[in-house]
Amino acid sequence: MTRTHPIRVLLVDDHRLVRAGVRGLLHDVPDIEVVGEAASGEEACRIALDLDPQVIVTDISLPGVTGIETIGRLLRILPETNILVLTMHELEPYTRMALERGARGYLSKRSAPQELITAIRVVAAGVPYIEHALAESMMASGVGEADLDELGRLDPRDFEIFSLLARGRTVKEIAEILHLSPKTVHSQRASLLHKLDVQSTAALAQLAARLGVIDPYGESGV
């Protein structure tokens, strides 16, 4: 059946230049319309219902509420929308966790512009889209199998707490961000240290930097 209206797209990325670049790319595509932008997961959740996008293109490196958590929150608000992750993170655990939370597609920011257009069209039709080059990118990333195994042991909630702890957030701050009790976060922190075989939050942050979860030169977590 022929689509009579453009695909409504919401862009979520904390970098204004990235949002401007994607908006510019999609501006002349007749069957796609950018209906809004958000710089954080919280902002996306506030505006999504009014905008009613068919596709939400989001990074997973977001300030405040993590990108993985944002996927779940957006789908609770708009269960029929299709979420396409567009990110710099190319390791398999990121892809797996995003899809487990309900993302329909996953694309690297290194992809060709035309591939983003194709991915938006595909996920808008309710069909999953995973970038073909992700496997090659994972092999070329320089992160060993043991490192991937460490990350792969974390479920999505573990990973959210892991990334927030690595970015220097306190137990109280994480509890507020994820709507959990401080006691629950404290317990999960202890479980994380055990699972990852590290002795402190500082060591956990070093592991996160080595795995590319955070930027060692500045906050850039998931």
Q: What is the reported pLDDT for 138? A: 44
Q: What is the reported pLDDT for 150? A: 61
Helix, strand, or coil (residue 8): strand
The segments of the chain whose pLDDT lies below 70 read 1-3, 91-92, 133-153, 156, 211-222
Q: How far apart are CA 214 and CA 222, in angstroms?
A: 7
Q: Which stretch of DSSP H or E encloses residue 108?
A: strand 105-108
Asked if the domains 7-138 and 145-210 are classified in one and the same CATH topology, the answer is no
Q: What is the reported pLDDT for 36? A: 97
The CATH number that domain 145-210 falls under is 1.10.10.10
Domain ranges of the chain: 7-138, 145-210
Q: Which stretch of DSSP H or E encloses residue 36?
A: strand 32-38
Homologous superfamily, domain 7-138? Response regulator (3.40.50.2300)
160-203: per-residue pLDDT in tens?
788 888 888 899 988 887 778 999 999 999 988 888 888 898 88
Task: Please list, in sequence order, all residues whose beta carbon lies within 8 angstroms of the beta carbon of residue 61, skipping any fewer than 6 positions away.
Answer: 14, 67, 87, 88, 89, 220, 221, 222
Nearest Cα residue to 57 out of 10, 104, 110:
10
Alpha helices in 79-170 (DSSP H): 92-100, 113-124, 134-140, 145-152, 156-166
Q: What is the reported pLDDT for 139? A: 47
Q: What is the reported pLDDT for 143? A: 47
